Chain A
């Protein structure tokens, strides 16, 4: 579903000729088309985005990307599986009068204050020492091991997956098992590039694989002081980083990207093609100018609403527990 193609379909229905427009310029129709896809997303919640924040000790405020439309109540997840509960600042005052100065603990709630920042309460802390890994593909830090669990970041899906002696090969799309002979102290790592497990013959140091350079890099630190390291893609060297203590995974209904170029492709599914056309016809004919025809505009609107209603059984799979709408924050709360 391409921008130009849809615009021409609309022009046909408005009896306009592409390139020789009389009543509606291409720019006007483009605006309506962008309005249409936003309206469809609002009504059906058919587009989702994901952002993962690295959370450091005491962190509590996180700036959201501009394309967030709405976050379902239970879709803010700390440390992979702790679904935080949405709360308004007023409700939070009942929990803790001085919530802004709370001591760090295990986060339980999340809230908005302002349009573009998400807060968690209490600020994050971590009870256990954890180590982290760098995903070269996404440029994010993810937790690699805890005392009893192993994790990795699945770049394809944007999720952390838990497994034992397993690693995910993004190249092969498979989890491969690492079978160390622990009695001999052997350790292994998976090389994405070579598609092989390589044994690391060194007990005194830890290693990581640089997907970019196709090499195993040694991390010269025993982590006894809790130091963490990262592999820099550009320089190909390991450098020390401030240790994050977890991550905050936010899945949200996103605003569609604004279409500008004729070859731009719609983010929403093709099933909404005729809904877009009908919405634009409704808007164009409603415009107070010579071409205005409210009766036909009304018919197009009815068709639009009716069609979405028929497609909506699919859209009913949307999060039923949605609330906090970022575009219209309740600043009184």
Chain B
């Protein structure tokens, strides 16, 4: 569904003209839609990205992409997944780690969140770090844009807009309504996440059934 189609649904629910000429405009809905997709991605972790960064001999830090929400995997030299630790862990477990000899890193950590990634030692060759991360979705600013999410979550955009617009009214009735929309929004996400989980466990179940049958 394009964002235009989603907006149309919202206008219908609100009883407003679908061209955005009523009390609520497309400008407002874009703001809400962008907030919604950020919120959705922190809850469903649906939109991922991968980036390959070069790292040179003797380097131990790299700049991270600017659109990271959460870094999920750091693969060194196409072969080794590094372990995420805190800077405090390094200081406690490996005092003097700054002077460790060059080599293959085992750990990564961050000081400035999402800005710079540090390794536990300087690398001993020119190679790459592959970063898998949950990203801040691309901004929606054109009516032909399509959210990067599974279409099962399209409805969430509509409910979230209803929630936010009710909240903006700030009257007791509207606040009650807002609570109700928010609950519905969270339920939809929970169902989506449950189904995603079931899909995974479903595959495992089939394998174990097959194993039993083979026995």
Give A contacts to B, CB under 8 Å. 9, 12-13, 15, 44-48, 72-75, 77, 80-83, 157, 159-163, 166, 168, 173-175, 251, 268-271, 273-274, 277, 293, 295-296, 299, 307, 310-311, 313-322
Contacts and interface: CB of A to CB of B under 8 A. Distances in A.
Contact of A320 (B57, B88, B114, B167): B88
Contact of B35 (A160, A166, A274, A314): A274
Interface stretch (B92-100, B197-205, B207-215): B92-100
Interface stretch (B2-10, B64-72, B73-81): B64-72
Given A80-B98, A157-B60, A299-B167, A307 B70 contact: no
A72 B96 contact: no
Contacts of A72: 87-88, 91
Given A72-B87, A317-B84, A317-B86, A44 B113 contact: yes
A81 B84 contact: no
Identify the 8 closest CB pairs spanning chains A and B, nearest first. Answer: A319-B88, A74-B91, A46-B113, A81-B96, A320-B88, A48-B111, A81-B99, A321-B88
Interface in B108-126: 109-115, 122
A159 B88 contact: no
Contacts of B111: 48, 251
Given A74-B95, A157-B61, A310-B43, A269 B87 contact: no
Nearest to A149: B99
B70 A163 contact: no
For the residues of A in contact with B, the DSSP-based class is mixed
Given A12-B28, A274-B39, A269 B115 contact: yes
A15 B168 contact: yes
For the residues of B in contact with A, the DSSP-based class is mixed
Contact of A314 (B98, B113, B167): B113
A293 B167 CA distance: 11
A144 to B, nearest CB: 16
Interface of B: 28, 31, 35, 38-39, 42-43, 56-58, 60-61, 66-71, 84-89, 91-92, 95-99, 109-115, 122, 136, 167-168, 170, 172, 175, 178
B144 to A, nearest CB: 23
A274 to B, nearest CB: 6
Contact of B114 (A15, A77, A174, A269): A269
Nearest to A158: B61
A319 B56 contact: no
Given A175-B58, A296-B167, A299-B167, A319 B86 contact: yes
B174 to A, nearest CB: 9
Contacts of B39: 274, 307
A270 B67 contact: yes
B115 A317 contact: no
Nearest to A299: B167
Given A317-B84, A322-B88, A47 B112 contact: yes
A167 to B, nearest CB: 11
B67 to A, nearest CB: 7
5 contacts: A74-B95, A174-B58, A269-B114, A277-B35, A296-B167
A46 B112 contact: yes
Contact of B99 (A46, A162, A173): A162
Contacts of B60: 157
A261 B136 CA distance: 26
A40 B56 CA distance: 33
Contacts of A9: 31
Given A75-B91, A81-B95, A310-B42, 11 more contacts: A9-B31, A12-B28, A159-B98, A173-B56, A269-B66, A269-B115, A270-B66, A293-B170, A299-B167, A314-B71, A320-B88
Given A46-B113, A48-B111, A157-B61, A320 B89 contact: yes
A229 B70 CA distance: 47
